[in-house]
Structure 1
Amino acid sequence: MLASFADAAARPDAAAGSKAFTVDDLVRLKRLTDPQASPDGRYVAFVLRETDMDANRGRTDIWLLDLTQKNAAARRLTTSPANDTSPRWAPDSRTLYFLSSRSGHSQVWRLPLAGGEATRVTDYPLDIGSLAVSPHADLIALSMEVFPDCMDLQCTKDRLEGPAKDKAAARVYERMFVRHWDTWSNGTRAHLFTARLAADGTAGVPLDVSGSLDADVPSKPFGGDEDFAFSPDGSALVFSARIAGRTEPWSTNFDLFQVPVDGSGAPRNLTADNPAWDAQPVFLHNGDLAWLAQDRPGFESDRFHVMLKSARTGSVRALTKSWDRSVNRLGAMPDGRSLLATADDLGQQALYSIDVASGTPRKLVGTGQVSDYCATKDSVVFALADLGAPADFEQFSFRGWNDETVYGYVMKPYGFESGKRYPIAFLVHGGPQSSFQNLWHYRWNAQTFAGGGYAVVLIDFHGSPGYGQAFTDSISGDWGGKPLVDLQKGLAAAIASYPWLDGERACALGASYGGFMTNWIAGNWPDRFRCLVTHDGTFDQRMMYYSTEELWFAEWESGGPQYENPQAYEKFNPVAWVAKWRTPMLVIHGEQDFRIPYTQALGAFTALQRRGIESTLLLFPDENHWVLKPANSVLWYRTVLGWLDQHLNR
């Protein structure tokens, strides 16, 4: 049985066609995440995020849905003004553990379903980042950021508070990462701990089980409890970690380590033979261990395929080696006979069941974006989103670079009338190994552009996932080549196929790699668009290499460090084409973006201003690579749509 529960609560009403969908609607949508099925299969707990516009932030609570009742309404379990996240079931299905900041910082709490108030499980001096409950509910696993040389948590807390008392303000570094994503390194590492649960439900002194490794568990900046798992008997934890050393910024060599939960032994490397990425350990009911693995070191967008290690024999086999799809998230059915996996597939993020005996994948959900899921003994509950409302959209294909098949989407604008032609918002996705597929995107939401009166065209150019690994690989070393041809041919194909698209009134917009591409278009397709929008885009490839943090990305895409292969960095360098720029451009950047530092935006804006090209610079002092705060999101969309209004003369 399959049960979808997310789309009805979060998706805008397709029937509400009398009102345009706006950014004010977008930021106020409720967002459902992290479904967790109770072990007995009766309930699913999930996190619901609502937007507090006055506080300019999202608020999260935990909700519960009874799966045994037809058309049951979800009920709210937590109502604290603080954020409640990460619901995790006790094995008896009668108690929920969760993370909450209601005490002032993130700690573990528990809530009995029979009634009563939530009670605190941990009272540690540091924030807890992730949580798992052991199969016997006798202990919990959790992560905290600590100084590796500290003997206890209080030592870390005292050291973190020390600089506030010092009049001198400086940082000293002897190795990278100096900063990562949006955070300056302060010397702490995320460590994995276990803590015994007493009879009264409180946790004892935490035991650091990963502290002997120079590594973050979970990984930074986005790792969570998918990075570690209890063995079925509860005696061990397996976690994914990359040994840092001085090579951390240019290494993707994550390995799986196994460690006793009582700390009686050191972590043991289970995947030392693979120099590439090993991730997401998942135990089957019989003790077999499944996980995701890549084959090529240094390539973050290599295909993740499923590996399986037998608990009985210790033998390891590549379960999905012949399946030409990259798994995003791995899970398992409770009986251990099949695995569950999401993977991009032809413009969708599909859900699959994988037979453990044969490795054969079977598609369970093929339309839309399965963003998360959980399993009971006889069903799968999944969170589903898509672009299907309120404006109409359609997938199309065309002959792109080298006459190869490329896919894209078109979306009609709000108020569409047959016989009329509409200006085009031509959205270019980032990554570049990502996709503007049939998904609900809060930062580049096609429905919001359609609500502003624009037809939307999106192209999954060479480099996008879901069309085979060779298609994904094809962009590396060719950032301004095949993708530009695909964009050119894709826009032309859309205009030829959909007469309501006004090809004379078009603006190209993109972020990250999409921002690079709009900068590249400015010099290499300069007369096609009436305006451009570049958000957090690369302007100078050479200085980008020396100021970004995750060097493995640039080194794979350009065939090595800049000082070893400078010609590759210059081959598709927008700064070299500034003399040909002439299209009005809106430049946007977050000052806390350490992936593509904001000096790239300053460079682009300087070039535009010096050349006398109409241009505007929008900087967000408190945003990183993404615009996340509700008020900033509203300002972003209003500024961008205003720029389109100004230049497309609707």
Structure 2
Amino acid sequence: MTLTATKFTPEVMLSAPRRSAGIPNPSGKLALYTVSTYSFTNHKKTVQIKVLNIESGDSVLLVDEPGWSEPVWLSDEEVLYLKSRDNGCTTLVVRHVNSSAVELSYEAGSITAPISNVKVKKLSDGTVAFACSALTAPDGQLFNPETEKKPHSSAKVYTTLFVRHWDAWNSENYSSLFYGVLDHSHGKYSLRGNALTNALAGTRLSSPVPPFGGAGDFDLSESGLVFVAKDPELDLALYTKTDLYFTPLKSFAESKPPSPQLVKTPGLEGYSNSPVFSHCGKRVAFTRMRSRQYESDKPRLMLVPDIHSPDKTQEFYATSDGAGGWDSRPDSILWSRDDTTLYVTAESHARTLIFQLPSTPSKATSLPTPIETPEGNVSSFHLLGSAETGHLFVSSTSLIDNSCYSVANPSSNSCKVISSASKQGKSFGLSRASIDSITFRGAGGDYDVHALVVRPSSFNKADTKKKYPLCMLIHGGPQGAWQDSWSTRWNPAVFAEQGYVVVCPNPTGSTGYGMALEDGITGDWGGRPYNDLVRCYEWVVEHMPEVDGSRAVALGASYGGYMINWIQGHPLGRKFKALVCHDGVFSTLNQWCTEELFFPVHDFEGTLYDNRPAYEKWDPARFVGDWATPQLVVHSELDYRLPITEGLAAFNVLQARKVPSKLLVFPDENHVRRNMKYTLSLFFMSWLKMSGRICVGF
């Protein structure tokens, strides 16, 4: 599956096979994963299911047919996956890993609608609990858009907030959790009654939480289901609050589940995330934020000691002032086999690491420490094999490697790479020698700013006469960060291989450097973050002799696009030969055109009508009279977070002022986009080269 290239280009990046995170089987000998590949020859995408031999590192093809999804292990040698049908129905298919099996695959059930986010759990009676999510009609039944009667009018009528979200107009249909039982008889699994039960029917609750909620929003055990859902009593557009609920089940065959029980967390009213049952099924670990109007608040690691007493929860590293003693953002959670240890991912200085700590808050007396993992970012991790080993199967990426599988040993703090899709970058002509980082003093004077640096693979440190143009990438969020991880959206190596030295700063507002830096952007969008970027440019020009600061470009998306427009109207904008604004903000006074209104309410410290000066202060449109740098504007018509008019307004100003500019519009893409990566990558390159304002150094 390895693609080999002498030069890393947008085409190479997008045609390189992409592996999913690996999932080991119960014995820990095999790992299940998927591979998607795009061909520029026939302009088609193929997706396969493969199985990795963890000991040898070799893989075999398991499924190579259209329409499948969601593969999960049922046993050591059996995989269940979904098969989509033309009428919108879904078939459950079981496939044997052992090619000598009498029957390689068979159907285990059929559902009358599309389903997703499958989870299974082997139960003590030999059956398997099956859970998934699906769209639900107002009557609580499964919703199938293929069989739904089409209305005679396209009109939509709303009388409350939150009329659309991300890239779709909201409807009366909602996401819900369904469960059932897979019986095992005569060597085959079958879905009992060929039916699923809606766990949330009649509750006004919806899970997973859109637009990005998935299988991580719920978990199952012998005790029942835990899941997160928005508070139905609060306006979804104005509040982030999601609560954790527990639905006790005597059996996953129950046709009328009891009402979900609220897990109480006094003093914490923000997002709840990542609920995970302990192996004993009694305890649950999860994360919870404090503010109910701040989507990027610090998650607190939480424990429910007994899920049958959901009103009693405990916080890890709690402090009397409520700030919390661990200044990090815990995310994914994994229990050790004996339930005495928790493994938790968290960002730390442009990486996502795995930390370990006691599973009881009273025993967690010192801050958690990271275990050894490969260079880059951990994207997924699972227990491997028996309780005796204590090893973890880790999936990760880096700036040079799009997929790496490794085995980590927490007890010896060691790690062994099992398989790398790109041979740790060699297949792309990339290496760690191209990756660096810098640190400079921030504009506030009392903090440092960290930035990743990616140089061309042809860079020769000994050639002191060679000068490279600068490419500064500005991340979105704004509460986000550039990390040592792979991306097909904004891949720094793609720019570097065109002859740029790429600098990716993490200024005020960035995550992974403590909450003080992250929260510092609140009410200060164009203040400290902008001045941090000024400091970054000045530091690079002064301390990196290989960079030609007179040949520089800057690019940003979302908040990064806001910053590009802000830079346009300020002195830093004259330092760059060209700018690229991708789905950015033209005017902060338009922020109430967005869907999640809690975002501007928090970041601008109030509503538009209660605190208008805060919106006006950091409005890029105030300074359009100074716009002068050539600019590419990219926007998507299905971007409901920052509507298309933001891009059109910026382009109209540039054109009216006779500033060299170009507009690239994607009619069928959203704020993150799904299919525009190829065009976008090539267009960025062509704009920067053909604008005549920048001369790349290759």
How far apart are 1:311 and its partner, in Å?
A: 2.2
Structure-2 change in CA distance of 1:528 and 1:549 (3 Å): same
Segments of structure 2 that go 5 or more residues without pairing to the other structure are 318-323, 401-424
Q: Is the 8 A contact 1:443 1:633 kept in 2?
A: yes
Q: Does the alignment pair 1:296 with 2:294?
A: no
Distance in 2, matches of 1:173 and 1:195, equals 35
Q: Is the 8 A contact 1:214 1:243 kept in 2?
A: no
Determine which of 243, 247, 253 is the counterpart of 1:255: 243
How far apart are 1:470 and its partner, in Å?
A: 1.3
Q: Does the alignment pair 1:184 with 2:187?
A: no
Q: Is the 8 A contact 1:410 1:494 kept in 2?
A: no
Distance in 2, matches of 1:229 and 1:570, equals 44
Q: How does 1:405-554 map to 2 (within 5 A)?
A: 405-417=448-460, 418=463, 419-525=465-571, 526-545=573-592, 547-554=593-600
Distance in 2, matches of 1:355 and 1:55, equals 52
How far apart are 1:365 and its partner, in Å?
A: 3.5
Distance in 1, matches of 2:504 and 2:214, equals 31
Give the aligned length. 623
Q: Deviations over 1:250-286 (max 9, x none)?
A: 1111111111242341111113643222111111123
Q: Does the alignment pair 1:636 with 2:691?
A: no
Equivalence for 1:37: 24
Q: Does the alignment pair 1:27 with 2:5?
A: no
Equivalence for 1:277: 271
Q: Is the 8 A contact 1:143 1:190 kept in 2?
A: yes
Equivalence for 1:267: 260
Q: How does 1:333-344 map to 2 (within 5 A)?
A: 333-344=336-347
Q: Secondary structure at the match of 2:177?
A: strand
Equivalence for 1:387: 399
Equivalence for 1:319: 316
Q: Is the 8 A contact 1:515 1:534 kept in 2?
A: yes
Tell me which amino acid in the other structure corresponds to 2:158: Y
How far apart are 1:88 and its partner, in Å?
A: 2.0
Determine which of 631, 653, 657 is the counterpart of 1:611: 657
Q: Secondary structure at the match of 2:237?
A: helix
Q: Deviations over 1:193-225 (max 9, x none)?
A: 112224453323211111223232111111111
Q: Is the 8 A contact 1:36 1:87 kept in 2?
A: no
Q: Does the alignment pair 1:578 with 2:624?
A: yes
Structure-2 change in CA distance of 1:195 and 1:522 (3 Å): same
Q: Does the alignment pair 1:61 with 2:48?
A: yes
Tell me which amino acid in the other structure corresponds to 1:542: L
Segments of structure 1 that go 5 or more residues without pairing to the other structure are 1-8
Equivalence for 1:101: 84
Q: How does the TM-score come out when normalised to structure 1? A: 0.91
Q: Is the 8 A contact 1:192 1:211 kept in 2?
A: no
Relative CO higher for 1 or 2, CA cutoff 8 Å, sep ≥ 6? 1
% same residue:
30
Equivalence for 1:3: none
Distance in 2, matches of 1:616 and 1:99, equals 43
Q: Deviations over 1:56-110 (max 9, x none)?
A: 564432221223x3x330112111123x3333222x4332222333666454322
Structure-2 change in CA distance of 1:138 and 1:457 (3 Å): closer
Q: Is the 8 A contact 1:534 1:587 kept in 2?
A: yes
Determine which of 34, 47, 56 is the counterpart of 2:34: 47
Distance in 2, matches of 1:433 and 1:176, equals 25
Determine which of 362, 386, 402 is the counterpart of 2:444: 402
How far apart are 1:313 and its partner, in Å?
A: 9.2
Q: Deviations over 1:403-435 (max 9, x none)?
A: 221101222124324220011111100111111
Determine which of 366, 370, 375 is the counterpart of 2:378: 370
Q: How does the TM-score come out when normalised to structure 2? A: 0.85
Q: Secondary structure at the match of 1:238?
A: strand
Q: Deviations over 1:302-340 (max 9, x none)?
A: 111211121299542212442111013222222212112
Determine which of 118, 143, 152 is the counterpart of 2:133: 143
How far apart are 1:149 and its partner, in Å?
A: 2.1
Determine which of 59, 76, 98 is the counterpart of 1:74: 59
> Displaced runs of 4+ in structure 1, greater than 6 A?
none
How far apart are 1:452 and its partner, in Å?
A: 1.3
Distance in 2, matches of 1:220 and 1:167, equals 28
How far apart are 1:123 and its partner, in Å?
A: 1.8
Distance in 1, matches of 2:505 and 2:80, equals 43
Larger CA deviation: 636-645 vs 218-227? 636-645
Distance in 1, matches of 2:146 and 2:395, equals 41
Distance in 2, matches of 1:413 and 1:558, equals 39
Structure-2 change in CA distance of 1:118 and 1:20 (3 Å): same
Tell me which amino acid in the other structure corresponds to 2:436: E
Distance in 1, matches of 2:39 and 2:210, equals 27
CA-based RMSD of the aligned residues comes to 2.2
Distance in 2, matches of 1:628 and 1:451, equals 24
How far apart are 1:139 and its partner, in Å?
A: 2.9
Structure-2 change in CA distance of 1:522 and 1:102 (3 Å): same
Tell me which amino acid in the other structure corresponds to 2:240: T
Larger CA deviation: 522-531 vs 503-512? 522-531
Tell me which amino acid in the other structure corresponds to 2:325: S
Q: Is the 8 A contact 2:468 2:547 kept in 1?
A: yes
Larger CA deviation: 198-207 vs 501-510? 198-207
Q: Is the 8 A contact 1:45 1:64 kept in 2?
A: yes
Distance in 2, matches of 1:425 and 1:212, equals 54
Q: Deviations over 1:537-576 (max 9, x none)?
A: 010112222x111111111101122122111111111111
Distance in 1, matches of 2:316 and 2:44, equals 43
